[in-house]
Amino acid sequence: SLSLAVLAHCLQGKYEVLIKKGWQEPLNLFVLPVAAPSEKKSPCLKWMIRPIQQYEREWNKEHAREIALSNNTYAALLRKVEKMQKDYAAGKITQAELDAAKDEEREFAVLRPKKEYVDDITVERMATLMVENEGRLSAFGTESTLFQNLNGRYSNGAYFDIVLKGFSQDPIRVDRAGKDEEVIENPVLTIVQMAQPRVLEGMMRNEEFLGRGLIARILFSLPKSLVGDRNIDPP
């Protein structure tokens, strides 16, 4: 199940499956392996995502100078707009000149460090990262922390609209006071959370998770226990 999840991460947003004309499915997955303590969940996930971590580290190192230059350029554009707003207020420039500077700043694509996946994250922050990452994001975790967050760990109640839409590529538009509008036309999200049986029991009793279709989107995996039978000297 973790192999499928890692492949989903690599392919999501790049390919789709054409079932038949007019019916396409994205290649992302929500995967939840369930196993008791001491079943080696954490080492298994750590091993599987190691290539992703290596790719992220090498990409960021290779593009470090470009990232810095991009951030410096964007900061200069912000200062330019701020100065031109003052000049406009003083009657030194026209509205068209100010609008052109604002358009240049708004349309500038900032090159950011690559963040291939997240773990402990709020839903609101998830939307921001998806905007920065061309609509794609993955959440890998060994303690099912993400589901705690979706159930209201950092808020007053359960909120996971963005997660539901990220499964089926439904457009996302987040518009809140004090923030720029965040628009993701084709969001695609892969989730891998390792869990203990008690977590699964709690999820199955969660009316919000059941009633709004979160549970139905998850590929559950309940591997056979290896406690007492594990090969301590594998090839």
Confidence at 61, pLDDT banded by 50, 70, 90: very high
Cα 181-108-169 angle, rounded to 5 deg: 45
On the question of pLDDT at 32 being above 70, the answer is yes
Q: What pLDDT shows up at residue 179?
A: 67
Other residues' Cβ atoms within 10 Å of the Cβ of residue 147? 25
pLDDT tens-place string over residues 1-16: 999 999 999 999 899 9
Please report the beta strands in 52-187, taking only residues with DSSP state E, as ranges in sequence order.
136-141, 172-174, 182-184
Alpha-carbon distance 170 to 188, whole Å?
A: 9
Q: What is the mean pLDDT of residues 217-231?
A: 88
Q: What pLDDT shows up at residue 20?
A: 95
| Better pLDDT: 134 or 7 | 7
Q: What pLDDT shows up at residue 184?
A: 85
The amino acid that residue 192 corresponds to is V
